[in-house]
Structure 1
Amino acid sequence: MIFIKKANILQILLLLLVLSSCKQKNSSDKETSEKAKNDTILQIKQGPELTSAYIASKSKSIEHFYNKNWPNKTANGGFLVAKNGQIIFEKYEGLANYKEKSEMTSTTPLHVASVSKIITATVVLKLISENKLELDQKVNTILKEFPYPDVTVRTLLNHRTGLRNYAYFTEKKGIWDRHKILTNQDILTIMATKGIDLEFRTDSRFSYCNTNYAMLALIIEKVTGLTYKDAMTKMVFKPLGMTNTFVFEYEKDKLTATPSYKRNFAKVNLDYLDAVYGDKNIYSTPRDLLKFDMGRNSSAFLDSKLLKEANVPYSNEYKGTKNYGLGIRMINWPTGKNFYFHNGWWHGNTAAFITLPDESVTIISLSNKYDKKVYKVKNLAALFGDYPFKLSDDEKEE
């Protein structure tokens, strides 16, 4: 009897071991499956394959434009033009790091400055599509400290809040010690405790303001429970295969991120505003921004109804063609033709992001040496559609 009891005990122990092993395996399989799901790169459908004749014709015109604006290799950054997700022309010239004499390449991440806003806005729109956020939700229902009761997520996105620019009100005496690095949370706390009033009544007019997007970054963190960096990585960078894109973290990246320069290659030093994100502080490449543009314009990544709403001009108090949507600048001509873009400038970094959804064209130009010619790449839109931009004779298609 004793032997039988021992055998029974051994059998029970063996059974428990097997069940525990199966449970661990199932849990491990679930975790592996979840990780694989999060790491999956979305397959964004491209348009029809371009013919070699089409590519040759367009690339010749683009090269003329490039050489005229940056003769004798005077560019310092990356430049790309693509249609249907296929690169027609790209160029990488200059130095990523002047001191080290390291060359600019297609994988060199550059600070895209305010082009970061369109990426921040896209994550907000994705959270709305997942019913984790509402477009017309009051900000003070999300960020409890937020002191302006009429400001909504929508008015943050379209710059109609009336908030003041944090770069200006933190300069005032007694508001902030500029020897200390400013954070997004610091901006919110200052507005809540230092009597920073609105510049104008919310939703009465447009005023481009970086504070709006610093607050949107905090909203992303509150809603997702992730840091802004992790949320961007999980929701945009990984799904779209943007392998050379990251959010700048001041303490971690200040010595290793690609520096920026004045026109004479004098390095621009970081300052107390360089830890704020959402409005800026994404580093990327032209190729990665092409992936982002393809994703943003694909219903597989972003709800098409929300994209349509993002491309609506929201500030119509005065007649004009220039306007702003939800994270995107635009020009709306009386002909019905629309041009969508976002420029950026921070320290010595300049950036231009142009998306032409009607023609499935993407134009990207980035530089880490201050260069206003970066913004002229908008003229290349005239090669692809009925856009009233001027190209000189040697820049036109032959």
Structure 2
Amino acid sequence: MKYLLNLLFLLILISCNNKEEKKIAQHTDTENLISKDSFVPIGFNKLPKKYIEQKKILVESFFNKHINTRDDFNGGFLVAKNGQIIFEKYQGEANFKTNEPITEKTSLHLASISKVLTASAIFRLVDDKKLTLDDKVQSILPTFPYGKITVRMLLNHRSGLAKYGNFTEPEKVWGRSKTLHNSDILDLMVKHNVPLNFRPDTKFAYCNTNYAILALVIEKLTNLSFPEAMQNLVFKPLQMNNTFVFEFEKQKDTVSQTYKSTKEKIPYDQLDAIYGDKNIYSTPQDLLKFDLATYSNNFISEDLKKEIFKGYSYEKKGIKNYGLGIRLREWETGQTVFYHNGWWHGNTTSYITLKKDTVTMIALSNKYTRKVYQTMKMSALFGDYPFELDEEGSE
């Protein structure tokens, strides 16, 4: 009898181990994340097991030292190469009141990483011949009051548009008591004759208004709401099943909440219904799916990618630049890092894609921390990038 009990225990233990191994495999094998009929690029070499093990030790050490320093990270973290996940971590809570845990399926607010996805919808429309990058915005949105601004200028932040958070704040214009929507921004520009901050295409100035207007462009060209258009153009084709555009009136109580570093909940304000520049929720695994698709000409054409992944603003010397919906760090020694960070309320986020080395790094937090911006430094673990692994990160 004792022998049978021991044998039964051994069989259960083996079964549990096998299940655990399968669970781990789902997090390291691209084919389990995206099916073959998606936009997955082909030709990535499968990483040797030893390479994954070695890099995992380095990445996990970096994560614990620079991002999860006091075991206080609240969100999702992922690093992958060739589409294979080397290390991922999910911890903390989506809602501290209900104690809802953050898992790999928990959708978190991307903040300004949303701009990367909004831009990708524009690129799909360009490839579909619905518009060109140099179309005047006024030709699509007839009431748009600035005749010289093009779609490209919205994408690369060279339009000169004023920040909607500034020009709508006075009570005589809009104020803080009413919820602002994208259509309101356009209407207020017209009604109050809001001036440009500078002549279009003369310099770079990061401005959320650009992407709020791009969302209206997408709606006009697709004849769909922005949430529906993003599902059709980006999320469904890439099987980003846990990604959606936040609809304020419907979902404000059900999405993951946002917190100060002290875990104090941050209340919504009058700007929380604006989308395009922010308000897309996603997961690290879904963003990995998106990043993989950017290597495929089936998702975005090769000619268009040449326009996307180049800098447009060289008026000032330095390594920082902006492409179309993506930030760049360009060094004179030839290295380039493509990335976008985000910060909205307590949501702080970072997305880095090393195109030359086919590496993806993602950190999403719904509790305020600047530590997520340290993620970019890990580039030095995968290529000849001029980062010191112990230097201070930046937003």
Task: Sort the TM-score into its range (normalised by shorter chain).
Answer: 0.7 to 0.9
Matched-pair contact (CA < 8 Å) for 1:166–1:187? yes
Q: CA deviation at 1:72?
A: 4.2
Q: Match for residue 178 of structure 1? A: 176
Q: How does 1:1-398 map to 2 (within 5 A)?
A: 41-45=38-42, 47-69=44-66, 70-392=68-390
Q: CA offsets per residue over residues 48-68 of structure 1, 9 Å max, x none?
A: 111110001100001111111
C-alpha distance in 2 between matches for 1:192 and 1:233: 30
Offset at residue 255 of structure 1 (A): 0.8
Count, aligned residues = 354
Measure the CA separation in 1 of the matches of 2:40 and 2:378: 28
Cα deviation, 1:278-332, whole Å, max 9, x if unaligned, reads 0000000000000011112211211111112111100111222110000000011
Contact 2:40 2:296 in 1 (8 A): no
Contact 2:261 2:369 in 1 (8 A): yes
Q: Distance in 1 between matches of 2:44 and 2:181?
A: 42
- TM-score by length of structure 1 reads 0.87
Asked if the contact 1:159–1:206 (Cα under 8 Å) also holds between the matched residues in 2, the reply is: yes
- TM norm structure 2: 0.88
Q: Write the letter of the residue equivalent to 1:108.
A: T
Query: CA–CA distance in 2 between the matches of 1:385 and 1:44?
Result: 21
Query: Distance in 1 between the 2:52 and 2:313 partners?
Result: 38
Q: Which amino acid aligns with 2:259?
A: Y
Q: What CA distance in whole angstroms lies between the structure 2 residues aligned with 1:251 and 1:45?
A: 41
Change (3 A) 1:269 1:97: same
Q: d(CA) in 1 for partners of 2:89 and 2:143?
A: 47
Task: Provide the secondary structure at the position in 1 that maps to 2:76.
Answer: strand
Runs of at least 5 residues in structure 1 that lack an aligned partner in the other structure: 1-39, 394-398
Distance 1:302 1:211 in 2: 24
CA distance in 1, matches of 2:43, 2:253: 38
Q: What fraction of aligned residue pairs are identical, expressed as a percent?
A: 53
Separation (CA, whole Å) in 2 of partners of 1:295 and 1:331? 22
Contact 1:158–1:324 (CA under 8 A) maintained in structure 2: yes
In 1: Cα distance, 2:390 partner to 2:89 partner: 21
SS in 1 for 2:306: helix
1:81 counterpart letter in structure 2: V
CA-based RMSD:
1.2
SS in 2 for 1:62: helix
Q: Which stretches of structure 1, 4 residues or more, deviate above 3 A after TM superposition?
A: 40-44
Residue 392 of structure 1: how far off its partner (Å)? 4.0
Q: Is the 8 A contact 1:41 1:238 kept in 2?
A: no
